A and B are shown apart, each in its own frame.
Chain A
Amino acid sequence: MSVWSFLASLVPLDLLQGLAVTGKYLFTKKVTIQYPEEKKEPADRFRGMFGFSEERCIVCYSCAKACPIGIIHIASRLEEFEVDGKKKKRQVLQWYDIDVKRCMFCGLCEEACPTEPVAIWLTTKTYETVAYERNERLYFTKERLQNWDGVRPFPGVLTPREGQMPDDPKGEKGKK
C-alpha cells in the first residue's frame, strides 16, 4: 500500500466533499409537489380525460375505426327533417360510448376526427377520473362525456358542456 493511498484512506477528502454536496442540498428548495393540495399543470399537449361535442360530431365513425382496441361504441339512426319544404335525412347519434377504463390515451381518435374543430379531443388537462367501480363509473356515455359526471376537472378547466374547445380547455381564448 502506497503512502498516498494510506493518506487517502485516513483522510477521505472525497467523502468530505460528498458531505458538503449533500449538506448543501439539505437546504435547497424541495421539488416535491404536494399532490392533493398542489397540482402540477399539465402541458398543453397532455392527453387526459375525453372532451366530446355532440354538435360537431358528424357521425362518420372514423374515431371508432381508428381506435386500436375498439372501445368507442357508436350507434346512429337516420332522422328525417324538413328544410325549405324539402325532406332531408341526417345521421343522428344514438349512442356514443367510450370505455375509458381500457383507454390507453393514444389520441388516434382525435387525429381521425374530420371536423374542425374536432369533436373528440384529449387535450383537456384533466386526469382525476378515479372511481371505486370501474365498469359503471369509467364507462362514459355521450352525456357523461359532455357533462363529465364523476370527473374532477383540472382547476379552471371547463367541461365540454360549458364550452371547452380542443385547444382551449380553460375557455380563455373566447374571452379575448
Chain B
Amino acid sequence: MASPITTFLLIPLVKIVVILTFILLTALYLSFFERKVQGYIQIRYGPNRVGPGGWLQAVADALKLFAKEDVTPTKAERFVFLLAPVLIVVPALVVFSVIPFGPTDTWRLTDINVGILFLLGVSSVGVYGIILGGWSSNNKYSLMGGLRSAAQLVSYEVPMGFAIVSVLLMANSLSLVRIVEAQKEAGVWYFVPGIVALYIYFVCGVAETNRNPFDLPEAEAELVAGFHTEYSGMSWAFFFLAEYANMIVVSSVATVLFFGGWLPPFPNLLAPLWASPVLAWIPPVFWFLLKVAGFLFLYLWMRATFPRYRFDQLMRIGWKVFIPVSLVNLMAIGLGVLLLGGAR
C-alpha cells in the first residue's frame, strides 16, 4: 500500500505543480488569445510575427516582463507595496485546489465538502491585494482605482452569492464535485432552471475580475492604470497573472455550477453514444476545458465589444437591479425545489 508520505505529500505536490503550470500557461496564452480575438474582431490579424503564427508572442512577453526593472516609488510603503502582488496572486491560484477538472480523484487536488464556500472566501482575499496595492503606491490614481475596485467587489459579491446559493439549493450540497454529480442525476444542467442565476453570476464574475465593461479600477482615461499604475516588471506581472487566473476561476466555477463540469452534453440521454468505443477515449477533462474555453472566449468577446460603464451606472446595476433580481430568483428556485421535491 502507498505510504502516508506518498498519499498526503508526494501526490498532492505533483498535482499542485501540474495545476500551477497549467494555469500559468493558460493565463499566459489567454493574453495572447485576447490580442488575437480583439484583432480579429477589429478586422486585423493581431500578433502573428513572433514564431509560427505568432505563437511565441506570449513567451516573448513573459521574458520581457522577467527582464524588466522592478521600480518601487520612493514614497511608497515599501513592504506593503511588495506584499500586495503576492496577496492578489496567491488567492487566485489557491482556489484551483477545489476545482474538479474530472470525475475521479486523479483530476482534482481535493474535494472538501464546503468547496464553494472555501472558493468564495479565498477569492475574496484578493481584494486586499488591490486595496493595499492602490494605497501603498502613494499615488492618487492608484488609491482611486483601489477604492473603486473595493466598492465594486463588495457590491457584486452579494448578487453573485445569491446566484450561487440558488444552485446550492438545487444541488443540496456545497461540494463542487457533488454539484456536478447532482446535475448528472437531475438529468439537466443547472443553467436551464437557473438561467437567471447564470446570467447574474457571469455578469458579477466579470465585475469581480475587473474586466470590460466593468474595468473601472483600471479606467485608463481617468486613472492611468488604476491600482497598478506604479507597478512594473514582475510585480506588475503578478497583477496581470491574477487577473487572468481570476477569469479562469470564474469560468471554471460557472462551468461547474451551471454547465455540468466534466460531463459530456446530455450525459444520460446520449449515454450509449458517449460509451461507444469511438467517443469513449475523450477524457472528461476535455469537456470541462471546452466549456471553460467557451466562457473565456465570451470574456474576450465582451472586452472587444463593450464600452466602460460609468461608476454610478455600475453601482446602480449592482444594487438596484442585480440584488433584487437575484433575491427574487433565489425565492423562485427555492419554491421550485420545494414543490418539485428536489431537496432531500
Is the beta-carbon distance between A10 and B325 smaller than 8 angstroms?
Answer: yes
Chain A contacts with B in 19-60, Cβ cutoff 8 A: 19, 21-23, 25-26, 28-32, 34
In the complex, A30 Cα to B38 Cα: how many Å? 12
Is the beta-carbon distance between A15 and B320 smaller than 8 angstroms?
Answer: no
Q: Does B317 contact A (CB under 8 A)?
A: yes
Given contacts A25-B41, A26-B40, contact A6 B304 (CB under 8 A): no
Which A-chain residue is minimally distant from B42 (CB atoms)? A25
Q: Does A18 contact B (CB under 8 A)?
A: yes
**Smallest CB–CB gap between B96 and chain A, Å?**
29
**Smallest CB–CB gap between A107 and chain B, Å?**
32
In the complex, A23 Cα to B43 Cα: how many Å? 11
- Main secondary structure, interface of A, reads helix
In the complex, A19 Cα to B302 Cα: how many Å? 7
Q: Which residues of A contact B317 (CB under 8 A)?
A: 9
Q: Does B310 contact A (CB under 8 A)?
A: no
Which B-chain residue is minimally distant from A31 (CB atoms)? B43
Is the beta-carbon distance between A28 and B321 smaller than 8 angstroms?
Answer: no
Q: Which residues of B contact A29 (CB under 8 A)?
A: 43
Q: Does B79 contact A (CB under 8 A)?
A: no
Q: Does B305 contact A (CB under 8 A)?
A: yes
Is the beta-carbon distance between B41 and A32 smaller than 8 angstroms?
Answer: no
Q: Does B257 contact A (CB under 8 A)?
A: no
Q: Does B301 contact A (CB under 8 A)?
A: yes
**Smallest CB–CB gap between A44 and chain B, Å?**
27
Which B-chain residue is minimally distant from A15 (CB atoms)? B306
Is the beta-carbon distance between A22 and B43 smaller than 8 angstroms?
Answer: no
Q: Which residues of A contact B48 (CB under 8 A)?
A: 34
Q: Which residues of A contact B316 (CB under 8 A)?
A: 1, 9
Q: Does B44 contact A (CB under 8 A)?
A: yes
Is the beta-carbon distance between A18 and B306 smaller than 8 angstroms?
Answer: yes
Chain B contacts with A in 301-317, Cβ cutoff 8 A: 301-302, 304-306, 316-317
Given contacts A1-B320, A6-B320, A10-B325, contact A28 B43 (CB under 8 A): yes
Residue among B43, B302, B306 making CB contact with A25, cutoff 8 Å:
B43
Which B-chain residue is minimally distant from A20 (CB atoms)? B305
Q: Which residues of A contact B45 (CB under 8 A)?
A: 30, 32, 34
* 1/0 contact string of B231-264 vs chain A (CB within 8 Å): 0000000000000000000000000000000000
In the complex, A54 Cα to B321 Cα: how many Å? 79
Given contacts A30-B43, A30-B44, A31-B44, contact A22 B320 (CB under 8 A): no
A-B contact pairs, 17 of them (CB 8 A): A6-B321, A9-B320, A15-B305, A18-B305, A19-B301, A21-B305, A22-B41, A22-B304, A26-B37, A26-B40, A26-B301, A30-B40, A30-B44, A30-B45, A31-B44, A32-B45, A34-B48
